Structure 1
Amino acid sequence: MTVERVNAIGPAALQRVLDGRWAAVRDDVRAQMGGIRLHPDPDLGTSEHRDLVADWMRRLAESRRPHTGFDPAYGGEGDVGGVVTAFQMLGYGDLSLLVKAGVQWGLFGGAVQVLGTSRHHDKYLKQIMDGDLPGCFAMTETGHGSDVQNLGTTATYDPATEEFEIHTPDAAARKDYIGNAARDGRMAVVFAQLITGGASHGVHALLVPIRSEEGSALPGVTISDCGRKAGLNGVDNGRLIFDRVRVPREALLNRYAEVAPDGTYTSPIENETRRFFTMLGTLVRGRISVAGGAGSATQKALAIAIRYGETRRQFSDPATGEEVVVLDYLAHQRKLLPALATTYALHFAQEELVSAMHAVQAFGAEPDEAAQRTLETKAAGIKAVGTWHATATIQACREACGGAGYLAENLLPQLKADTDVFTTFEGDNTVLLQLVAKGLLSEYGARVKKLGPLGMARFVGEQVAGSVVERTGAPAMIGQVRHRDLLDRGYHRALLVDREDHLLAALARRLRKALTPGADQFGIFNAAQDHLLRAARAHVDRIVFDAFAAAVERTGDAAVKRLLDQVCHLYALSVIESERAWFVEHGRFTAARSRAVTTAVNELCAALRPHARALVDGFGIPEDWLACPLLGTDMLVRG
């Protein structure tokens, strides 16, 4: 194995590749917002921070950038992918702005757009786009977060008045952590159990006014403030309680269900569970936006830490007597460069995800249920892995900057605080990976059912052979791969695919017992949760790798392609190294091969060290959004 030395590449060439399909959108955001210092004073109080973010929201609305994601028939541009990319760019600045904008135009406005019909669009969309109607997305309850299907809030229809009565029956049904609720929101999309004629039809969404234009809570609505949070204090998270609040029949967002004046309920989707998941699936944009915001925050942290690592000196080189910049130490490279490679991989996976969403949710496009399900599964997996990666990487960057990284003025503590909640909002990551695994199992079962007698016999034989390898440690695969070059991308993919396939097949075998009559289905499923999560993670690792490899292949600049190829190698080998125990335990690696993987990662870190600055500058983060004392000469003290 020989790591090729690549000539220096300018960051502009990298940026052209990273900016991708929506490069013009990224440039517009840099031009429109990049000159604004989106760094609140660390000593700013909650009220002042909210005022500042509200002012930025007005500027954002005036830029008309949020309009681009809405229906052209109502003054939008129909560019769903473009607006998500624009919001993602805000993650380089203040994440409170990103989240508040996401609530207003992504969640609130997006729900009205995709769950409502013309009667809602005609009345509200322009006000929402212009920022004149601030709104909330009231789904989460104190007692139910991930389990949306069992929310407690009710919407009971009264045919005598042709109204719905919105009610919070107990403390657990209180709407909690709702962005825009504590101060600014005047209307909420409220998710509630829809009841007509004494029968429940499951969770539906209704538009419910919560404040007057003067800012007072409307009758029957109790609003309270969640108070100071660990981060994102520019967002006014609040709690909502409804005491038999009346709204007209037309308040129901009725794309997927309608209630007639006499209370008759109809829906184009008869099955309640399928209807529920179809409604939620249309809201996948929020989850994708969170993944993108986490990616931007991670890129910003790496840009700060790597720039600092190129100038901060510690300890003398005995040969020269000069102090060494910390990024020249292997331990420092190990801390930052594999994380940088993974960040690149996730960036390209996010780009693919946004493109898929843009195609599935294009205005006027024919509904494609299979594509929508695939999008939801991919979005859940990338959001989970991407936000966990953000948490781990921002922490590593903070440590890499020592005491300076702990100072609020140097931005990293705020990035840590603001992104921490990303792992649990828009879907708890553990639950999301379970959803990914369940989707994979469904696809796996469908594939198996399609096999003919010969295919089934071959399939069973492969399963038995896999089980023998797992029990005996027989080196079934070692002979096939022992001499493959560790820098062979095809080899990387073969290993990742093999791990994914093996884990999924073994999981299916474990869960098959739940299908037998009288089986303890919960107990069997619960006992296999660790396996479930590993299988889902293996799948996400593989699709992220595929996205990165595809990006490398479509890169036209030969020099940039060579550099990205090495970054892709580092990503793949970092994943493989982190799973060395699995590859050894399952007969895929010898101990020597396992050690060789670590050597390869070390050599790739050394080879990429000269390109580290260009790789982070290639993100194209506006300099005003990176400015901090840590990156100025006044902080470069010795010792």
Structure 2
Amino acid sequence: MEPSAITEILDGRWAALRRTVREQLAAVEYSDTSGLSTDEHRALVFEQMHALAKTDGPRLGFDREYGGGGDIGGSVVAFEMLGFGDLSLMVKAGVQWGLFGGAVQLLGTRRHHERHLADIMDLTLPGCFAMTETGHGSDVQHLRTTATFDGGEFVIHTPHQSARKDYIGNAARDGRAAVVFAQLITDGRSRGVHAFLVPIRDTEGNPMPGVSIEDCGRKGGLNGVDNGRLTFDHVRVPRDNLLDHYGQVDEDGTYRSPIDSDNRRFFTMLGTLIRGRVSVAGSAGSAAKRALTIAVRYADTRRQFNRPDEAREVVLLDYQAHQRKLLPALATTYALHFAQEALTATLDELQSAADPDERRQRELESRAAGVKALSTWHTTATIQTCREACGGAGYLAENLLTGLKADTDVFTTFEGDNTVLLQLVAKGLLTNYRSHFEDLGTLATARFVAEQFVGMVAERLPSLGPGRDDADALYDRGWQLRAFEDREAHVLDGLARRLRRAASGDADPFEVFNSAQDHVLRAGRVHTERVVLQAFADAVEGCADPEVKHLLDRVCTLYALHTVNDDLAWFLAHGRLAAGRGKAVNGAVNALCAELRPHARTLVDAFAIPERFLDAAILREEPDRQDVQWRHDQANAAS
């Protein structure tokens, strides 16, 4: 089978765009940046940013009215494809056009769009997204920076060290303006976190009066991104610099908003900014694909140890242990790819709608949180596995894996800490009316969950009785989906019951949820794993080519059974599999790895990563470099 037949399925709805971006990436000069100094790397990436600004990619996510492409999903796909190359470029591009530009577009109104979007798109106005503070990262609602309305202007101020804007991309070197998130105060009352466009440098590159800029310095990776710290000392900006789509302040200081609830307004505002979270998940997937391509190609040629009575050494990928390292990771990467594609399509649909459905928007936010968490954790684990699979050679910078590992490490904690994101997923599972859920107090929420959901969740449990856990059933897609659905429903039901018991009586609200966090995180994870399996199964079902469909069906089954095997204790402890069938699951994973081994190279080549980004030294060596003839001569001499 030609890899291109699978590539066609992987590329999906945005196939033409993916081909275009591949061609552009293939034409870009690329070399390993591990030997560059911080200053050299930053300068190189900013130069590449200017080249990128001349293409259509950065414009895709902006409205056509202002010179954009009007393709929100396409903009996410374009950032995902950048993940095949220097991840510093992907992150810096994401800051400029995804976060900074996206905030101006989605939180601002026409006057902001007309004044700034063209300059943002062509990089005339490099900018920052200044949300995170030294003392508050995940807890955005309680940021300490203030924006006080005074005399027709807003005064942006950092009241103490923990309110300093920290780890801000583009701040240390190139940014000229920042979207600053701060507590809006007018008439002596806080109206919650809002976003303000604040100049941070003049045209000569000097900090604006009252703005202090520090360099975060050398990081563990992504050193082409100039992360910095911003402090504001009573910096005045015009009233029009409030990005006022969700809240306006009149000349006399009167505050107006189409959303009365402060909580609902805050979460609605943040919900519009999930494009960055979705983009991170996609880019993480690209990095995992790149690592797997290197490791699988190497394992398909590298030889180690002889079979008895044979001079020729065994190819690494013929060893079952090596297959178990790489092929389940490859199957999971495929599964997450199709989940990402489905997520991007939903994002495109909802953010392109004039009046998006609020319930579906909340579901999108929850799904984006879960997929981002699982994708970035998977990437971190997969790159480490690939490094180990390449032995000591994998530890050399020239073989690219250590750079990938360093650059993707932070993905698990930016655009949302993964642990917090899984709690967000679980919270969304416990109620379909999330705005009401968040307006309730913590203790009231627990009681609401118990009253509303325990019975309903219990009714969804499917039966996986005796006879359905035999070896044949393991390969049945219906059984796999029911197993994942059953596990999700059972875990959610248990969580609801646990909260109900904890909330009875005079329970401490904090302790109610703190004592159940292990259960909350499991609920978020098993739900997302079910969503990922469903997306993969849907993609397989949609394949028109029977040969491709059969191969992807086996890859999907490997993902499903590998996931069951990883959580085998749960399936055994809860009676979903008979005690003896745990071995059958593990045996099925082994059998699928052996079945897919001849297709491993095809499956990674189907990612269609431009070859210049796979230029690892271990892939440039002759595949049979070992001195086989010497061994043959030694064997003859001994006989």
What's the TM-score bracket when you normalise by the shorter of the two chains?
over 0.9
Q: Give me the whole-angstrom Cα distance separating, in 1, the residues matched to 2:468 and 2:41.
A: 59
Q: Give me the whole-angstrom Cα distance separating, in 2, the residues matched to 1:369 and 1:462.
A: 23
Distance apart, 1:366 and its partner CA: 1.6
Alignment of 1:92 with 2:80, yes or no, is: no
Q: 2:241 aligns with which of 246, 251, 254?
A: 251
Q: Give me the whole-angstrom Cα distance separating, in 2, the residues matched to 1:444 and 1:523.
A: 24
Conserved 8 A contact 1:40-1:49:
no
Conserved 8 A contact 1:139-1:191:
yes
> Structure 1, residues 406-450: CA drift from partner, whole Å, max 9, x if none?
010111000000000000000000000000001101139999xxx
Q: Give me the whole-angstrom Cα distance separating, in 2, the residues matched to 1:366 and 1:214.
A: 43
Q: Give me the whole-angstrom Cα distance separating, in 2, the residues matched to 1:444 and 1:563.
A: 40
SS at match of 1:619: coil
Match of 2:49 in 1: 57
Alignment of 1:541 with 2:529, yes or no, is: yes
Q: Give me the whole-angstrom Cα distance separating, in 1, the residues matched to 2:15 and 2:532.
A: 21
Q: Give me the whole-angstrom Cα distance separating, in 2, the residues matched to 1:352 and 1:636.
A: 42
Conserved 8 A contact 1:167-1:245:
yes
Alignment of 1:597 with 2:585, yes or no, is: yes
Distance apart, 1:368 and its partner CA: 1.8
Q: Give me the whole-angstrom Cα distance separating, in 1, the residues matched to 2:195 and 2:318.
A: 55
When the two structures are aligned, how many residues end up with a matched partner?
Answer: 613
Give the stretch that moved more between structures: 19-28 or 99-108: 19-28
Cα distance change of structure 1 residues 546 and 555 upon mapping to structure 2, 3 Å threshold: same
Aligned letter for 1:59?
Answer: A
Q: Give me the whole-angstrom Cα distance separating, in 2, the residues matched to 1:110 and 1:636.
A: 51
Give the stretch that moved more between structures: 515-524 or 562-571: 515-524
Match of 1:14 in 2: 6
Distance apart, 1:13 and its partner CA: 0.5
Match of 2:403 in 1: 414
Alignment of 1:86-125 (within 5 A): 86-125=78-117
Q: Give me the whole-angstrom Cα distance separating, in 1, the residues matched to 2:221 and 2:586.
A: 37
Aligned letter for 2:161?
Answer: A
Cα distance change of structure 1 residues 298 and 193 upon mapping to structure 2, 3 Å threshold: same
Conserved 8 A contact 2:454-2:497:
no
Q: Give me the whole-angstrom Cα distance separating, in 1, the residues matched to 2:359 and 2:69.
A: 26
Q: 2:191 aligns with which of 201, 218, 243?
A: 201
Q: 1:351 aligns with which of 341, 346, 350?
A: 341
Unaligned runs of 5+ in 2: 438-450, 628-639
Aligned letter for 1:266?
Answer: R
Match of 1:6 in 2: none
> Structure 1, residues 362-410: CA drift from partner, whole Å, max 9, x if none?
1x52232111111100000000000000000000000001111101011
SS at match of 1:425: coil
Alignment of 1:485 with 2:477, yes or no, is: no
Match of 1:5 in 2: none
> Structure 1, residues 485-513: CA drift from partner, whole Å, max 9, x if none?
22111111111111000000000000113
Cα distance change of structure 1 residues 155 and 129 upon mapping to structure 2, 3 Å threshold: same
Alignment of 1:74 with 2:62, yes or no, is: no
Cα distance change of structure 1 residues 202 and 444 upon mapping to structure 2, 3 Å threshold: closer
Alignment of 1:165 with 2:141, yes or no, is: no
Aligned letter for 1:623?
Answer: E
Q: 2:554 aligns with which of 534, 547, 566?
A: 566
Q: Give me the whole-angstrom Cα distance separating, in 1, the residues matched to 2:90 and 2:173.
A: 17
| Structure 1 residue ranges, 4+ long, deviating more than 2 angstroms after superposition | 37-41, 443-447, 456-466, 475-485, 513-518, 634-639
Cα distance change of structure 1 residues 330 and 125 upon mapping to structure 2, 3 Å threshold: same
Q: Give me the whole-angstrom Cα distance separating, in 2, the residues matched to 1:44 and 1:389.
A: 28
Q: Give me the whole-angstrom Cα distance separating, in 1, the residues matched to 2:525 and 2:510.
A: 22
> Structure 1, residues 342-374: CA drift from partner, whole Å, max 9, x if none?
000000000000000000111x52232111111
Cα distance change of structure 1 residues 462 and 183 upon mapping to structure 2, 3 Å threshold: closer
SS at match of 1:633: coil
Alignment of 1:437 with 2:429, yes or no, is: no
Distance apart, 1:77 and its partner CA: 1.5
Match of 1:632 in 2: 620
Q: Give me the whole-angstrom Cα distance separating, in 1, the residues matched to 2:20 and 2:209.
A: 43
Match of 2:490 in 1: 502
Alignment of 1:395 with 2:384, yes or no, is: yes
Match of 1:32 in 2: 24
Match of 1:451 in 2: none
Alignment of 1:130-209 (within 5 A): 130-158=122-150, 160=151, 162-209=152-199
Cα distance change of structure 1 residues 490 and 169 upon mapping to structure 2, 3 Å threshold: same
Aligned letter for 1:291?
Answer: A
Match of 1:472 in 2: none
Match of 1:618 in 2: 606
Cα distance change of structure 1 residues 371 and 55 upon mapping to structure 2, 3 Å threshold: same
Aligned letter for 1:193?
Answer: Q
Alignment of 1:367 with 2:356, yes or no, is: yes
Q: 1:326 aligns with which of 311, 316, 319?
A: 316
Q: Give me the whole-angstrom Cα distance separating, in 2, the residues matched to 1:480 and 1:408.
A: 49
Aligned letter for 2:42?
Answer: R
Cα distance change of structure 1 residues 409 and 138 upon mapping to structure 2, 3 Å threshold: same
Distance apart, 1:464 and its partner CA: 11
SS at match of 1:413: helix
Give the stretch that moved more between structures: 479-488 or 300-309: 479-488
SS at match of 2:473: coil
Unaligned runs of 5+ in 1: 1-8, 448-455, 470-474
Q: Give me the whole-angstrom Cα distance separating, in 1, the residues matched to 2:279 and 2:573.
A: 38
Q: Give me the whole-angstrom Cα distance separating, in 2, the residues matched to 1:530 and 1:93.
A: 37
Q: Give me the whole-angstrom Cα distance separating, in 1, the residues matched to 2:327 and 2:13.
A: 26
> Structure 1, residues 238-265: CA drift from partner, whole Å, max 9, x if none?
0000000000000000000000000000
Conserved 8 A contact 2:301-2:623:
no
Distance apart, 1:604 and its partner CA: 0.2
Q: TM-score, with normalisation over the residues of structure 1?
A: 0.93
SS at match of 2:416: coil
Distance apart, 1:64 and its partner CA: 2.5
Distance apart, 1:41 and its partner CA: 3.3
Aligned letter for 1:113?
Answer: Q
Match of 2:446 in 1: none
Conserved 8 A contact 1:478-1:587:
no
Q: Give me the whole-angstrom Cα distance separating, in 2, the residues matched to 1:414 and 1:518.
A: 52
Conserved 8 A contact 2:369-2:425:
yes
Q: Give me the whole-angstrom Cα distance separating, in 2, the residues matched to 1:98 and 1:572.
A: 31
Distance apart, 1:630 and its partner CA: 1.2
Distance apart, 1:48 and its partner CA: 0.2
Q: Give me the whole-angstrom Cα distance separating, in 2, the residues matched to 1:374 and 1:578.
A: 27
Cα distance change of structure 1 residues 517 and 248 upon mapping to structure 2, 3 Å threshold: farther
SS at match of 1:443: coil
Alignment of 1:607 with 2:586, yes or no, is: no
Match of 1:313 in 2: 303
Q: Give me the whole-angstrom Cα distance separating, in 1, the residues matched to 2:119 and 2:263.
A: 33
Conserved 8 A contact 1:35-1:624:
no
Conserved 8 A contact 1:513-1:524:
no
> Structure 1, residues 118-160: CA drift from partner, whole Å, max 9, x if none?
11001000000011100000000000000000000000001x2
Distance apart, 1:461 and its partner CA: 11
Conserved 8 A contact 1:39-1:93:
no
Give the stretch that moved more between structures: 321-330 or 518-527: 518-527
Conserved 8 A contact 1:81-1:357:
yes
- Superposition RMSD on alpha carbons, in Å? 2.1
Q: 1:279 aligns with which of 269, 277, 281?
A: 269
Q: 2:327 aligns with which of 311, 321, 337?
A: 337
Q: Give me the whole-angstrom Cα distance separating, in 2, the residues matched to 1:381 and 1:548.
A: 16
Aligned letter for 1:72?
Answer: R
Match of 1:424 in 2: 413
Q: Give me the whole-angstrom Cα distance separating, in 2, the residues matched to 1:213 and 1:145.
A: 30
Match of 2:440 in 1: none
Distance apart, 1:58 and its partner CA: 0.7
Q: Give me the whole-angstrom Cα distance separating, in 2, the residues matched to 1:110 and 1:242.
A: 23
